[in-house]
């Protein structure tokens, strides 16, 4: 038995190493982003809709209502936020107030919204859409210097965006297709290359779970939340499954590294889509969870503007 298999088996049978640090009962919590300047964690509730600020030192939560569903966001180097709302990309001030529309969602707003997004190490914002009709009309985009460029099409739910420590690999998932892909990444132009499969997932059975949001650590390993799978997985850059950690929520949505040393792994989760029986067996669903890890994460890049 390989060491990685032993670690995985042990992790699956052990009690969860995660602690619920905020029982916020988010309908669809997502996109945790650590601010090293403020030593606080921002995240969203897509369905509320709201941008949220959590102070781990005090336990205080502040919710900033959004005018429409928010799929992701990035901190801006100039201050405030770049927010991917349903109908477009908007600039928000530091208090979460909507200030300026920067780009429109080029897809049909009635059936498409912006979803998972983050900046690459050069400060370009990458964001995908979700096709609510599941007909494959979603895409992946790059936003830079006021211009939105389509990079991929034919998707259903663009997800799992992350970049390697060296900035030469981009990771991306299409959730309903149960796959995470690895792309060689041209950092000079912000262009991903041909997709190669990093990992595949199961829609049923004991290994059930759909790939959702993700983060990369300082060793280049890919941490992925399993929607409806109740687990976080850590993959080596070559796709080997290194570890698996149960989360006390049925649908964890995205991990992020935070804390002064970037060795606290935060995980958002959701309550949407769960039955009454599932909520009874997993009452902390929708909460924010955290555990300490050995390998630190990477600082989250800010949007360059």
User: How far is the C-alpha of 236 from the C-alpha of 211, rounded, in Å?
Assistant: 16
Q: Catalytic residue among 212, 217, 238, 261, which?
A: 212
Whether 174 is a known active-site residue: answer: no
Catalytic residues: 212
């Amino acid at each position: 038995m390989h060491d990685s298999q032993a670690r995985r088996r042990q992790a699956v049978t052990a009690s969860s190493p995660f602690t619920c640090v905020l029982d916020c009962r988010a309908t669809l919590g997502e996109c945790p982003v650590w601010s090293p300047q403020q030593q606080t964690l921002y995240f969203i509730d897509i369905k509320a809709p709201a941008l949220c600020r959590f102070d781990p030192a005090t336990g205080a939560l502040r919710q900033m209502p959004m005018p429409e569903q928010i799929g992701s966001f990035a901190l801006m180097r100039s201050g405030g936020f770049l927010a991917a709302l349903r109908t477009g990309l908007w600039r928000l001030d530091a208090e979460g107030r909507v200030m300026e529309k920067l780009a429109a969602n080029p897809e049909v707003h009635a059936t498409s919204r912006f979803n998972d997004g983050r900046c690459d190490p050069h400060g370009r914002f990458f964001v995908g859409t979700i096709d609510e009709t599941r007909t494959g009309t979603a895409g992946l985009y790059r936003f830079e210097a006021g211009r939105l460029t389509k990079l991929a099409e034919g998707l259903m739910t663009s997800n799992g965006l992350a970049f390697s420590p060296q900035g030469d690999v981009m990771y991306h998932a299409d959730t309903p297709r149960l796959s995470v892909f690895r792309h060689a990444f041209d950092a000079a132009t912000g262009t991903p290359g041909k997709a190669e499969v990093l990992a595949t997932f199961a829609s049923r059975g004991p290994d059930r779970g759909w790939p959702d949001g993700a983060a990369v650590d300082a060793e280049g390993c890919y941490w992925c939340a399993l929607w409806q799978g109740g687990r976080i997985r850590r993959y080596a850059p070559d796709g080997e499954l290194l570890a698996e950690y149960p989360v006390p929520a049925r649908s964890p949505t995205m991990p992020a590294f935070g804390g002064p040393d970037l060795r606290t792994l935060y995980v958002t989760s959701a309550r949407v889509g769960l039955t009454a029986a599932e909520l009874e067996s997993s009452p902390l669903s929708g909460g924010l969870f955290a555990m300490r890890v050995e390998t630190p994460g990477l600082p989250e890049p800010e949007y360059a503007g």
